[in-house]
Amino acid sequence: MKNKLSDSVRPELVEGRASKPLKFSANLSMLFSEFELIDRFQAAKACGFDAVEIQFPYSVHPEIMAGLLAEQQLKLVLFNVAAGDLLQGGEGLASVPEKKEQFEDAITQAVAYAHYVKPEAINILPGRCLDKRQKSRYLETFKENLLLAADTLAPLRIKAVFEAINTYDMPDFLVYSGKQMLSIVKQLKHPNLFMQYDIYHMHRMGENTADFIARHADKIGHIQFADCPGRGQPGTGEIDFQQFFSVIENSNYSGWCGAEYKPVEASCDSFGWLSK
């Protein structure tokens, strides 16, 4: 495996645009799970990454987190706003009308954390709607909360992003397609609001992910990937990652690509895709 990610990219011209090196980040919530979280920073650096992302970093004090990043010369590019009971099967925070105050507290917490670790983007998970009769009400609440997040993060020069998740892994998830995300972005028209596009989730929902990125790269604030099915590293499933990465290189996307997968073996042995 090469230490410099840019070594693996050939510059070329496609449709009049020069391709650019891809920027990869390691998701420390999924990768290097054989180590304690505070030891995963060193592991990521040793495997050639210059950036990391974490789903929910709040179990580590932000000053300690900032120190770990500085020690390994890593950038934390993304983390999530706290999502309440979402991972326990609940509805989460961001779309539930009765939880608006809790969501505002979660935004305040995320901003306080961001002052130390200085991410490029913060992700707002829409959550579930367990009562389909309430779906339109939940969507309106979510859009209101997205505007609050985008407004709050704009002065800090942090992108507000939100993510669609497949309904096989998370039944009743409120936002589950690129089309839905695109509609919300176009409706709200906030300059600091972007999609977080996860290749695994959208491929699972049957989308042509490469085509979506090629068409809408300017509205995407962060990309995450895993192979499908199984959510393992590239090469373990059916996604053509050579094509996929080529599309990103030659699109208008300039952000990070987050490796958010479950390694089928030790994490450090799962990066064969990176050297290609």
Q: Is residue 276 part of a domain?
A: no
Q: Looking at residue 20, what is its pLDDT?
A: 76
User: For residues 95 and 106, what is the distance between their CA atoms, to the nearest angstrom?
Assistant: 13
User: For residues 163 and 111, what is the distance between their CA atoms, to the nearest angstrom?
Assistant: 19
Reading phi first (left if > 0) and then psi (alpha if -120 to 50, else beta), residue 172 is in left
Reading phi first (left if > 0) and then psi (alpha if -120 to 50, else beta), residue 253 is in beta
| Tokens describing residue 258 | 């987050």
Q: Is residue 91 part of a domain?
A: yes
Q: At 124, which CATH number? A: 3.20.20.150
Q: Is residue 14 part of a domain?
A: no
Q: Looking at residue 93, what is its pLDDT?
A: 98
Provide the whole-model pTM. 0.92
Q: Is residue 203 part of a domain?
A: yes
3-state secondary structure of 114: helix
Q: Is residue 275 part of a domain?
A: no
Q: Is residue 235 part of a domain?
A: yes
Q: Looking at residue 17, what is its pLDDT?
A: 47
DSSP readout, 116-171?
HH--SEEEE---B-S-GGGHHHHHHHHHHHHHHHHHHHGGGT-EEEEE---TTTST
Q: Looking at residue 124, what is its pLDDT?
A: 98
Q: Is residue 184 part of a domain?
A: yes
Give the sign of the dihedral formed by CA 264, CA 25, CA 146, CA 100.
positive
Q: Is residue 188 part of a domain?
A: yes
Per the structure, the count of domains in the chain is 1
Range of the domain at 30: 5-9+20-269
User: For residues 251 and 155, what is the distance between their CA atoms, to the nearest angstrom?
Assistant: 27
Active site residues: 163, 260
Rg (CA), the chain: 18
Q: Please report, in tens digits, the pLDDT of each residue of the chain (276 residues total).
A: 322 223 322 333 234 444 678 999 999 999 999 999 999 999 999 999 999 999 999 999 999 999 999 999 999 999 999 999 999 999 999 999 999 999 999 999 999 999 999 999 999 999 999 999 999 999 999 999 999 999 999 999 999 999 999 999 999 999 999 999 999 999 999 999 999 999 999 999 999 999 999 999 999 999 999 999 999 999 999 999 999 999 999 999 999 999 999 999 999 999 999 987
5 within 8 A of 229, measured Cβ to Cβ:
no
